[in-house]
Structure 1
């Protein structure tokens, strides 16, 4: 029986949490390399509409997310269970909010099973899901070896009016590699 809370496992827990958090940042900023970096080469993902190698998932995400103006992944409960010092099962509750402009109805239909909303309106999609990840530590680094997305709930809301009306000087999130966070990381030499 492995000690789930030894000092070594506590360090591993922090490293595993960082992997999950880095995934959320990478997908929301459309950072291709960041998405790939949280998975081991040859990893597999079962993501509902996409099932296959991680490289294909990242290609699918990039294509599907092109027209999405806003994406936010939020991690809630995270339970980490070690099967061995180098293998862990991780269940992470995830909430997502994404805005699909009217022109992105086909991308949205991939996730909902069919078209939603009036043809000329934007759509906000809210989800509650869980990532079920088999994490493996290889060469001292934790990454995802296999991910299954468990979909629990989705809600679609038509956007009749944009609530955010930016004024001069406001910092607005971006998905083009020039987000304020990405610029700050470059400035500090972190990127």
Structure 2
């Protein structure tokens, strides 16, 4: 029979886990918000100062002592990309806690209006974020993030995108977007998406990270750290 003290301990442990998972979830949401707004100050709060970042379109990178400088570089690369604005949603995050370390897998949905060869097109992508979080000085941040590419679809715009006009008037990101609609159903024509950069020979993390549980994410991240760290220290 569980004693009142035991029930209290169980409740406290469960509450602590919920609070930790919510803190981690909020970090993922801040990343999405900072990416949409190209906000380096907010983006810097997501990563530890020695964080590793692997994106399927680029070689692995490391913060090297300053999350803010790392975030500034990421935002500069975003501004130089052909994407006029990026709508990024994180609808789900699965978290496994291990003391001051956590492993998370998040689904991302990315809406990317852009101009290619003078043509206005919109890409709808699915992404997966595999994260190693670490709690340092009581704060959860990302120590290692891997971004994997999932499915994608390309659409020709039937009309100027209100998403771009309201979210980024004149091609500049607004801090207070008012509209995120792409007016689906107005005759957009789906076309095959060109192969991602990773399919054309550049570095990309690959592994089986599927399944109903987050354990493969931990294994994949541990293998990635052993592979990546020697090359970027």
Equivalent in the alignment of 2:30: 22
CA distance, structure 2, for counterparts of residue 165 and residue 47 of structure 1: 25
Residues 1:70 and 2:85 are matched in the alignment? yes
59, 62, 80: which is aligned to 1:53?
62
Aligned to 1:32: 40
Contact 1:29-1:176 within 8 A present in 2 as well? no
Answer yes or no: is 1:79 the counterpart of 2:75. no
The change in CA–CA distance for 1:24 and 1:165 in structure 2 (over 3 A counts) is closer
Structure 1: segments with no counterpart, 5+ residues:
103-118, 182-191
Q: 1:179 aligns with which of 166, 175, 180?
A: 175
Residue in 1 that maps onto 2:125:
127
Structure 1 CA distance, aligned partners of 2:122 and 2:155? 5
Q: Which structure 2 segments of 5+ residues have no match?
A: 1-9, 64-68, 178-233
The structure-2 alpha-carbon separation of the partners of 1:11 and 1:64, relative to structure 1 and needing over 3 Å to count, comes to closer
What corresponds to 1:92 in structure 2? Answer: 106
User: Considering only CA atoms, is the larger Rg found in Structure 1 or Structure 2?
Assistant: 2
Instruction: Output the TM-score relative to the length of structure 2.
Output: 0.60
The normalised TM-score by structure 1 is 0.72
Aligned mates of 1:179, 1:64 — CA distance in 2: 16
Aligned residues: 157
Structure with greater helix share of residues: 2
Can you list the C-alpha shifts for 1:15-38, whole angstroms capped at 9, x where unaligned? 111100000000000001211210
- Native 8 Å contact 2:121 2:155 kept in 1: yes
Alpha carbons 2:121, 2:154 under 8 Å: kept: yes
Aligned residues of 2:167 and 2:173 also touching (Cα < 8 A): no
Query: Aligned pair in 2 of structure 1 residues 146, 68: CA closer, same or farther (>3 Å)?
Result: same
CA contact (8 A) 2:101 2:134 kept: yes
Tell me by how many angstroms 1:57 deviates.
6.9
- Structure 1 residue 165: deviation in Å? 9.4
1:98-137 residue pairs with structure 2 within 5 A? 98-102=112-116, 119-137=117-135
* Cα distance per residue 1:28-55 (max 9 Å; x no partner): 0000121121000010011112221145
